[in-house]
Structure 1
Amino acid sequence: MIRFLDATLGRWLRHFLFVLVRSYYALFYNVSCSGKHLLQDQPGTLILATHVSRHDGPMIAALLYSTKRIRPTVHYDEYYNWGQFLPMYVASAIPMSSPKSWPDEKRKERKATILEIVHKVLAKGNSVLLFPAGRVRREEHERVPAYLSGVHEILRLEPDTPVMLLRLDGLGRFQEAQYDGFWSFVGIKKGRRHVAMDLRPLNDLDPAQDLEAFNAQLEELLNKPISYEL
């Protein structure tokens, strides 16, 4: 019954929600996305993205929705926040992590459950959006703490999982803000903010290395400028 509701009512709700979100970003942001077509022919992809603002998740999911269904990952506390739960649920977000107040054994069980969900989603041909840094950037460069193990564990369990790197430019606090003249007809000098999304396959990320080296390599890749050839 749950699967039937998700495939019928849930599908319509998701489509309506993403049309609204995409319309909002079309009005207030001028977004370009290179490499989006590559995702269309690559099912079950793990998308690793830079995290420059709180707009990242909804913007990426909305812009890629017509290309491939994206299941975003969000922190446990955000998913179960009463003010955000409905859109998170409709978007089929995957809650990551767990409260630090939980016993260690319960947290380990929760982690194992999350990994199982992620791999089931990928096996069905859907893509999973994950922010390796774990939180919105608070400095000029992306930082992937050595203790964050989500990406490493996902790829160690299924090393053949297709991976793509998604970098955002022009949206974050530490990125240059440029605007067009879209709203000039009503006397507003600043129109839509220009945002560039760059999506590319990532083939040289080795999950066989230890966690600290893996995260250091991932951090380096996330911080390469968009014009840089991988």
Structure 2
Amino acid sequence: MLRLIDATVGKWVRHTLFILIRSYYALFYNVSCSGKHLLQTDHGTLILATHVSRHDGPLISAILYSTKRIRPTVHYDEYYHWMQWLPMWIGSAIPMSSPKSWPDERRAARKQQTLRVIHRVLDNGNCVLLFPAGMARRQPQEIIAPGLSGLHDILRSKPDTPVVLLRLDGLGQFQRATHDLFWSFLGRTKGRRHVSVAITPLTDLDPDLPLPAFNARLEELLNTPITDDL
């Protein structure tokens, strides 16, 4: 029954919501995106994205909506926040992590449940959007906390999962802000902010590495400028 509701009413609600979100970003941001075809050639792709601002999740989901269904991952506290739960649910977000106050056994069970959901989504041919750093940047570079192991666990349990790297530029507070003249007819000198999204295949992230080395390599990849080759 839930699947039927999701495929009918849920699909129309998501479609309407993402049209509104995409219209917002079209009006106030000049977004270019390269590499979207990679999501169409591979099924069940894991998208690893830089996290430069609070706009990242909605913007990425909106611009890729017509390419592939994207299931974003969000922190447990954000998903169940009373002001955010409804849009998170409509957008089919996947909550990750768990409250630190929970017993270790309950946290471990929650982690295994999340892994099962993610792999089920990937097996169904949909994409999962994950921000490896866990939170929006509070510094110029992407920093992965030593204990974050979600991505490591996902790839270790299924190493053949297709993975792409998505890097955002021009959106964060530590990135250069360039504007066009879209709103110049209203007398505004600043128009839409230019945002670049680059999607590239990622084949050299070895899940067999120990967690510290794995996170160090991932951190290096996330901080590679868009203009550089991986």
Question: Which residue of the partner structure matches residue 84 of structure 1?
Answer: 84
SS in 1 for 2:92: coil
Number of the residue aligned with 1:64: 64
Q: Deviations over 1:42-70 (max 9, x none)?
A: 11000000000000000000000100000
Counterpart for residue 206 of structure 1:
206
CA distance in 2, matches of 1:189, 1:37: 35
Alignment of 1:149-228 (within 5 A): 149-228=149-228
Question: What's the TM-score, normalizing by structure 2?
Answer: 0.99
Secondary structure of the residue aligned to 1:172 is: coil
Partner AA of 1:145 in structure 2:
A
The structure 1 segments of at least 4 consecutive aligned residues displaced by more than 6 Å after TM superposition are none
- The Cα offsets for residues 161-220 of structure 1, whole Å up to 9 and x where unpaired, read as 000000000000100000000001011111000000000110000001100000000000
Distance in structure 2 (CA, Å) of the matches to 1:60 and 1:77: 21
> 2:45 is matched by which residue type in structure 1?
T
CA RMSD, 1 decimal: 0.6
Please, which runs of 5 or more residues in structure 2 have no aligned partner? none
Residue 99 of structure 2: aligned partner: 99
How far did residue 118 of structure 1 move?
0.3
CA distance in 1: counterparts of 2:43 and 2:146, whole angstroms? 29
Amino acid at match of 1:84: Q
Q: Partners of 1:12 and 1:40 in 2: how far apart?
A: 22
- TM-score between the two structures when normalised by the length of structure 1: 0.99
CA distance in 2, matches of 1:156, 1:130: 16
SS at match of 1:102: coil
Residue in 2 that maps onto 1:31: 31
CA distance in 2, matches of 1:222, 1:122: 22
Distance 1:106 1:7 in 2: 32
How many Å apart are 1:39 and its aligned residue?
A: 1.1
Consecutive unaligned residues of structure 1, counting only runs of 5 or more, are none
Tell me the distance in 1 between the aligned counterparts of 2:86 and 2:153: 29
Pairing 1:3-18 to 2, within 5 Å after superposition: 3-18=3-18
Letter in 2 for 1:219: E
**2:50 alignment counterpart:** 50
